[in-house]
Structure 1
Amino acid sequence: MSSKLRRQIEEVFGNEAAALADRQQLARQAHQLVTHAALLGFSELSQLCIELEEACTSGQDVAAPFQQAKAAGQIADRSASGTHPVKTAVLADLARSPRQRRL
Structure 2
Amino acid sequence: MDSFRGQGGIQMLLTAEQEAQHIVSSARNLKIKRLKQAQEDADREVGLYRSHLEAEFQKKIAETSGSSGFNAKRLEVDTEVKIQNLKESASRISSDVIGMLIKHVTTLNK
Using structure 2 for the length normalisation, give the TM-score. 0.25
Greater length-normalized contact order (CA 8 Å, ≥ 6 residues apart): 1
Question: Which structure has more helix as a fraction of its residues?
Answer: 2
Using structure 1 for the length normalisation, give the TM-score. 0.27
Larger of the two Rg values belongs to structure? 2
